[in-house]
Amino acid sequence: MRPSHLALAVLVAAVWGVNFTVIEIGLDHFPPLLFSALRFLAAALPAVFLVGRPKVAWKWIVAVGLVLGVAKFGLLFVGMDAGMPAGLSSLVLQIQAVFTAAVAALTLGERPSRVRLLGMLVALAGIAVAAVDEGASGPLGAFALVVGAAACWGVSNVLTRKAAPPDALNFMVWVSTVPVLPLLALSLLTEGPARDLAALRALDWQGAGTVVYVAWITTVFGFGVWGFLLRHHPASTVAPFSLLVPVFGMSSAFLFLGEPVSPLRWCAAALLVGGVGLASRTPRGPAPAVSPGPTGVAPPDPTAAVPPDPTAAVSSDPTAAVRTPRPASRAG
């Protein structure tokens, strides 16, 4: 990989990692489901008018949009809003590689190798250590929601594998059109129109900036660059850079939000990243691997390994004392 492409790969990993901190800030301005809906709305418009018509059947766009956009991001944003720290969220989402392999084995008949099985067990051990750490300092319910989000991501990866989109960016933009209305409806039902309207009326440059970052920078820019790299290099060369995401996620949360990283969390990070690295190894031979892309959508590369995606936290986090208090609109 030439130096410029190496720099791009690291830049995208940094963009995705910092995204968790940006979303943490965004949750100061929006209820979680409304924030997620705005993220997809901004990712879809105006890009949907620039990428051309969909290149796969609508059933795949709708299926991935509901599982990835509504279920995965809905659980993730609500879990973050319920107290899951930004840095830990960036780490726990890596377990999506294990769920992807498990769902592919059940639905596609893809038998994981012994090395991949070992990696899955190591990654699960990392999740167990992270759960112990979070249970001692934060709400386990929020932790479980983020694990659930990772499971939904694994399902969406397999659906994307079945869809086999020839243009990953085109696919992601069209997928982004699907979750907007369901997420808005869920927000109105659960978060309430009064809270949503209050958040929109109080919108300032910082809140708007978080929406622009999570939509255009992490989704459109990040996904576009990731697709560019996959077109010029084997997926087995590009995919390992996604393991840098929790490094940037935990580092940015420490630097900008004051989130401490306990010894247990470092241990969980080592186990989880190492396990995902083993589970993501490209097998030799004809059997293809399931390959999620940067934002949870897989380029149709038969040699691809299994990377992650970007996204944050809130209240009963052990670092709450060093954060700016949430505005009243976050209540309820």
How confident is the model over 67-80, as pLDDT tens digits?
999 999 999 999 99
Mean pLDDT over 215-240 rounds to 81
Whether the CB-CB separation of 199 and 31 falls below 8 Å is answered with yes
CA separation, residue 35 to residues 9, 45, 77, 198 (Å): 27, 15, 8, 13
Secondary structure (3-state) at 287: coil
Whether the CB-CB separation of 317 and 260 falls below 8 Å is answered with no
**What is the reported pLDDT for 178?**
97
Place of tokens 């869920």: 186
**What is the reported pLDDT for 209?**
96
Whether the CB-CB separation of 86 and 312 falls below 8 Å is answered with yes
Q: What is the DSSP string of 68-83?
A: IIIIIHHHHHHHHHTT
Mean pLDDT, rounded, of the chain:
81
The residue with greater pLDDT, 315 or 255, is: 255
pLDDT in tens, 120-154: 888 888 888 888 876 666 688 999 999 999 999 88
CA separation, residue 318 to residues 20, 126, 181, 252 (Å): 17, 20, 34, 16
**What is the reported pLDDT for 216?**
93
Q: Which H or E element spans position 251?
A: helix 245-257
Secondary structure (3-state) at 10: helix
pLDDT in tens, 156-205: 988 988 898 888 889 999 999 999 999 999 999 999 999 999 999 999 99
**What is the reported pLDDT for 159?**
92
pLDDT band with cut points at 50, 70 and 90 for residue 300: very low
